């Protein structure tokens, strides 16, 4: 009995609280609902008055010790490239050394002495002093500018001789007889071109698997449908280039769209042959906004068909056209493959064979494109020139297996790819 009373005494406060809550439950629910409604009305009014209310607030400043240092690199291109300076490439968290002011002053004094020496006609002394200034301050813009001025005529002369030598090799290629060995070399080059072009973009199919897909139409086990479709798309685009585009007088925007439509026709039919309508980002590189893409494409085509560009070396013209198309980045995907097709279209119209850019040179390919972004297209032009020459040597070397009109009957294998890379 005592325990029962003790239990009732212990639970009585809780029972009382439960009765009170039960009595005023409706009132409490009403108060909570009223507060919620009031808060919602206030926020709705604030939203109507401030269009940026729901946007995330931007941090105005970081603590001083955490402030990152940004060095913007403006997109400076020479006028002859015909590309507008519409790109800024930021380089974040730069680790550049702090310049030594004393060494800079000494370097600038040496530069002044070099200019005086040059005005007096002492070229050897001028060269020695400029090299000394460059060693003191290798990154100073005035020193670099003076060095470029001194070396530019020599560099231009070397580049001109290189392009002229390759054009002579093209003339030698055009005189080669179309033998059975040459036909096999052309067929092997076709497979090599497709294999390397898709491999640069990350496709993992081997050269043998690429050839098997195109010759037999049988799928390769363990490889994705996307990789198969990339190979089939490049095959369709190359056939279109060979059978249609080589016959026209002037290139049009629609021709580039048609090439792209075949490149992506199987892999991504929705975006195939369509100019992008969204902003894309490629690593540190930000292409132009979509609303300017068509205008830039039309400017590129106008430049390609301009009579003044006929005076340029075909290799130089093809390399610049490739670079411009990559910079414009007119498509969601397939820009690199389409740019390499445009490169070969220009070269083939000038009598060159399709140039193979091997996947083994992928790092150099992207590095020279990045250097072009910084304002110097010459390394990329030299890169294209070197592999144009290698491709010509591949064909000329294949024809040399024919002696006295009799050609060795052999199949071209993987070693031919190595000949192009070397």
The reply to whether 335 sits in an annotated binding site is yes
Question: 262: closest CA among 239, 236, 243?
Answer: 236
The reply to whether 338 sits in an annotated binding site is yes
DSSP letter at 282 equals: B
Alpha carbons 18 and 372: distance in angstroms, whole number: 78
The reply to whether 334 sits in an annotated binding site is yes
Question: 330: closest CA among 255, 403, 410, 385?
Answer: 255
- Report the residue count for the chain: 422
The reply to whether 373 sits in an annotated binding site is yes
Alpha carbons 112 and 374: distance in angstroms, whole number: 28
- Burial class of residue 41, CB neighbours in 10 A (0-12, 13-18, 19+): exposed
Which long-range CB contacts under 8 A does 114-120 form with residues at least 24 apart? Answer: 114/146, 115/146
| Tokens describing residue 400 | 């040399």
Alpha carbons 196 and 199: distance in angstroms, whole number: 5
The reply to whether 305 sits in an annotated binding site is no
Backbone angles phi, psi at 402, to 5 degrees: -95, 120
The reply to whether 333 sits in an annotated binding site is yes
Residues annotated as catalytic are 329
Question: 117: closest CA among 125, 107, 109?
Answer: 125
The reply to whether 340 sits in an annotated binding site is yes
Q: Is the dihedral of CA 248, 252, 253, 254 positive or negative?
A: negative
Which long-range CB contacts under 8 A does 108-117 form with residues at least 24 apart? Answer: 108/133, 108/137, 108/140, 108/142, 108/143, 110/136, 111/142, 111/143, 111/146, 114/146, 115/146
The reply to whether 344 sits in an annotated binding site is no
The reply to whether 2 sits in an annotated binding site is no
Binding-site positions read: 333-340, 365-366, 373
Binding-site positions for ATP read: 333-340, 365-366, 373
């Amino acid at each position: 009995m005592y325990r029962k009373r003790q239990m009732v005494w212990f639970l009585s406060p809780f029972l009382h609280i439960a009765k009170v809550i039960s009595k005023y439950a409706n009132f409490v629910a009403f108060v909570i609902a009223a507060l919620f409604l009031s808060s919602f009305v206030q926020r709705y009014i604030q939203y109507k008055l401030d269009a940026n209310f729901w946007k995330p607030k931007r941090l105005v400043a970081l603590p001083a010790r955490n402030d990152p240092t940004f060095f913007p690199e403006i997109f400076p291109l020479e006028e002859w490239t015909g590309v507008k300076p519409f790109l800024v490439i930021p380089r974040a968290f730069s680790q550049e050394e702090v310049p030594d002011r004393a060494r800079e002053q000494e370097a600038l004094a040496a530069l002044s002495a070099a200019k005086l020496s040059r005005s007096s006609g002492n070229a050897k002394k001028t060269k020695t002093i400029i090299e000394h200034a460059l060693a003191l301050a290798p990154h100073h813009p005035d020193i670099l500018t003076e060095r470029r001025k001194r070396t530019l005529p020599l560099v231009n002369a070397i580049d001109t001789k290189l392009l002229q030598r390759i054009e002579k090799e093209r003339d030698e290629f055009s005189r080669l007889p179309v033998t059975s060995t040459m036909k096999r070399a052309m067929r092997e080059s076709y497979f090599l071109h497709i294999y390397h072009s898709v491999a640069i973009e990350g496709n993992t199919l081997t050269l043998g698997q690429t050839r098997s897909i195109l010759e037999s139409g049988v799928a390769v086990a363990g490889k994705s449908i996307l990789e198969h479709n990339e190979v089939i798309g490049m095959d369709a685009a190359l056939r279109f280039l060979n059978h249609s585009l080589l016959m026209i007088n002037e290139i049009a925007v629609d021709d580039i769209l048609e090439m792209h439509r075949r490149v992506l026709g199987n892999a991504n039919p929705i975006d195939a042959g369509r100019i992008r309508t969204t902003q894309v980002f490629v690593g540190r590189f930000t292409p132009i906004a979509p609303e300017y893409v068509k205008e830039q494409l039309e400017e590129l085509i106008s430049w390609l068909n301009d009579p003044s560009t006929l005076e340029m070396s075909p290799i130089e013209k093809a390399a610049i056209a490739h670079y411009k198309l990559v910079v414009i980045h007119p498509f969601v995907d397939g820009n690199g493959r389409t740019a390499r097709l445009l490169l070969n279209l220009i070269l083939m119209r000038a009598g060159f064979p399709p140039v193979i850019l091997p996947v083994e040179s992928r790092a150099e390919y992207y590095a020279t494109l990045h250097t072009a972004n910084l304002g110097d297209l010459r390394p990329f032009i030299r890169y294209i020139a070197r592999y144009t020459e290698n491709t010509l040597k591949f064909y000329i070397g294949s024809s040399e297996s024919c002696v006295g009109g009799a050609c060795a009957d052999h199949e071209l294998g993987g070693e031919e790819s190595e000949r192009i890379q070397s």
